[in-house]
Amino acid sequence: QFLPGVQTASSIRNSTVNGLPQSSISITLDGVNIQDNTLKTTDGFFTIAGRRKDMLISGGVNVYPAEIEGELLIHPAVQDAAVVGVSDPVWGERGVAFVVPVTGAMLSVDEVIAHARRNLAAFKVPTRWKVVEALPRTPTQRIAYHLLK
């Protein structure tokens, strides 16, 4: 039990993705269910790969937008980034990246795509890119992904 008086339940489901151990962790707190996907690193630790509801499946492969966003944010001209999955008749889903340039920076989409291709597996690189002034936010300042789809 996490907190006194809070009803909780949890479960872990193990599987293998591309030869790497993967777990799906499901935690319920007072009736609210949170499901995260984790990957087991080579040194035996689990890292959160992203929320299951945010994961997109492209060509039968799980793609975690949080991993792609983290890589895009490393680029010096990118202030903010979000990746969502959109329906694709051939691949099931494809990634669409929304990037916000650093104030005053000249953001070259080709340069950001090249950065993504250097640092991500080919199937993780989004196929559509949009440069935007800002990402939509919820009242708690989280990215409103549902507005980007």
Quote the tokens at residue 107: 């953001």
Nearest-angstrom CA–CA distance, 35 and 6: 18
Nearest-angstrom CA–CA distance, 76 and 132: 16
Res 145 pLDDT > 80: yes
Nearest-angstrom CA–CA distance, 102 and 99: 10
Task: State the pLDDT at residue 38.
Answer: 58
**Which residues fall within 8 angstroms of residue 2, CB to CB, at 6 or more apart?**
8, 29
- Mean pLDDT confidence for 4-27: 48
Lowest mean pLDDT among 32-46, 73-87, 114-128: 32-46
Quote the tokens at residue 121: 């597996």
> What are the pLDDT digits (tens) for 42-90?
777 666 555 556 678 788 888 888 889 999 999 999 999 999 999 999 9
Burial of 126 (0-12, 13-18, 19+ CB in 10 A): buried
Residue of 52, 42, 127, 53 whose CA lies nearest to 86? 127
pTM: 0.69
Task: State the pLDDT at residue 43.
Answer: 77
Nearest-angstrom CA–CA distance, 61 and 58: 5
Q: Is 8 helix (H, G, I), strand (E, B) or coil?
A: strand
- Mean pLDDT confidence for 125-149: 92
